Amino acid sequence: MALLVMKFGGSSVADAEAMRRVAQRVVAAHRAGDRVAVVVSAMGDTTDDLLDLAGQISPGTPPEREMDMLLSAGERISMALLAMAIEQLGVPARSYTGAQAGMRTDTAHGRARLLDVQPDRVRRTVEDGAVAIVAGFQGISTDDDITTLGRGGSDTTAVALAAALGADVCEIYTDVDGLYTADPRIVPSARRVTRITIEETLEMAAHGAKILHLRAVEYARRFQVPLHVRSSFSDQEGTWILVGRPLTEDTMEEPIISGIAHDTSLGKVTAVGIPDRPGAAAAVVGAVAQAGVAIDMIVQNVSTSNAETSDISFTLPEADGRTAVAAVRALQEQMGFADVLYTSHVGKLSLVGAGMRSNPSVASRLFSALADAGVNIEMISTSEIRISVICDQSDLEEGVRSVHTAFDLDAEEEAVVYGGSGR
């Protein structure tokens, strides 16, 4: 008898019919003898709709505490309806908010981090032979206020619950049949990956493949939670994410490249004409970190304006652009540099694969494929299992398709995207 955590994303519970389909799947697992805890997201685009509504009532910055109270309601609707649908099929089910499920977080509204997970009630419910349903993406802070974990955070709730319950597997049900070699919405010929290491999955998630919340993958790695990403719309086996297992003989036949992630949510800041002396980069990057902005990629070059000076450019989440520019501008007079420039709509393409570290031809093949697609590379960064390039956002999709083909990743059949808006 296995203990399963099954997580269903928004498109899997978008309406009453979808909700009934999910209930049937949960009941089938329960009837097969497994103990089942479920995590649900808000129905369809509910979270976006609630955000819009808040924007109409409170333009600018609505109070964070109330925003979390509002957004957490989306998942509460889903959990109660799913419990009803499961009861309809003759299996007892009880729903719990994040707070009731023991999800204790810090006080950072909108991006709260889990501090402690004590799902006693969930455990008792499951041991009683009922299905427990937990609202994703939310918790209760150390100040006893309702918090949310950030967009896409239900994946993290699911993995944290699976870790705390000691579940055998955490199944992430979504609107595609697993993790693909690229986003199937951009590359219809993307290929489903059958198995992938957690390190590669981390790189994919960290660099824009939004199929899994990055923090969920980090959590799964830390607590060794096996993940199975699959579709709630089909019975196909999905993608197994291997935890604590490096590539070994049985996985040696896997291709060198596991996938291409792309990110369209970046901006780029350039400080122009910085006097070339030790400590300059530390001052610029330090000021941005002080402002609470996480920098993605950094390059320093001899300045375009004066050879005695240098330019420092870095990429960052677009949403943090204004804060970062202000932080760098505050240094301008004191450090004596010429200007601060900001570019929005920057794109990033990342090629990920644990097998590519010992293969020197990978980078040249990547750059040739981008050149063939007419993509101008602005920045490059590498890790042991990833090469990322920054380019104009409007070139990104074409670049991803060209690189996908150049690495022989194209499948014969088109990938199926079952539903949802994909945002």
Q: Can you give the binding site for ligand ADP, defined by CB under 6 A?
A: 9-12, 41, 152, 174-176, 179-180, 182-185, 209-211, 259, 417, 420, 422
Question: Could you tell which of ligand ASP, ligand ADP, Mg ion, none binds residue 175, using a CB distance below 5 to 8 A set by kind?
Answer: ligand ADP
Question: Measured from the CB of residue 269, what is the shortest distance to ligand ASP in angstroms?
Answer: 27
**Does 139 interact with ligand ASP (rule: CB under 6 A)?**
no
Minimum separation from the CB atom of position 422 to ligand ADP (A): 4
CA distance linking residue 100 with residue 37, whole number of Å: 14
Which residue lies nearest ligand ADP, judged by its C-beta?
Answer: 9
Q: Output the smallest distance, CB 115 to ligand ADP, in A.
A: 24
Kindly state the number of chain residues that form the binding site for ligand ASP, as judged by CB under 6 A: 12
Residue 250, phi then psi, degrees to nearest 5: -75, -10
Give the nearer residue to ligand ADP in terms of CB position, either 231 or 303. Answer: 231
Q: Which of 44, 102, 153, 238 binds ligand ASP (CB under 6 A)?
A: 153
Token pair, residue 402, equals 């060209």
The nearer residue to ligand ASP, 48 or 145, going by C-beta atoms, is 48
Min CB(151)–ligand ASP separation in Å: 4
3 to 32: interface string for Mg ion, x by CB under 5 A:
------x-----------------------
Interacting residues of 112 by C-beta distance below 8 A, sequence separation 6+: 68, 105, 106, 139, 141, 147, 148, 149, 150
DSSP secondary structure letter of residue 180: B
Confirm or reject binding of residue 152 to Mg ion (CB under 5 A).
yes
Residue 353 CB contacts under 8 Å (≥ 6 apart), including other chains: 200, 255, 256, 257, 258, 259, 362, 385, 386
154 binds ligand ASP (CB under 6 A): yes
* Position 419 contacts Mg ion (CB under 5 A): no
From CA 8, how far away is CA 14, in angstroms rounded? Answer: 10
State which of positions 28-47 bind ligand ASP (CB under 6 A): 41-42, 47
CB 137 within 8 A of CB 157: yes
Return the axis-axis angle of helices 16-31 and 64-88, rounded to nearest 10°. 60
| Footprint of ligand ASP on 72-91 (CB under 6 A) | 74
Which residues neighbour 144 within 8 Å (Cβ) at sequence distance 6 or greater?
none
Distance in Å, CB of 151 to ligand ADP, minimum: 9
Residue 406 structure tokens = 């150049």
- DSSP tag of 81: H
3-class secondary-structure state, position 381: strand
Q: Which positions lie near ligand ASP, rule CB under 6 A? A: 9-10, 41-42, 47, 74, 136-137, 151-154
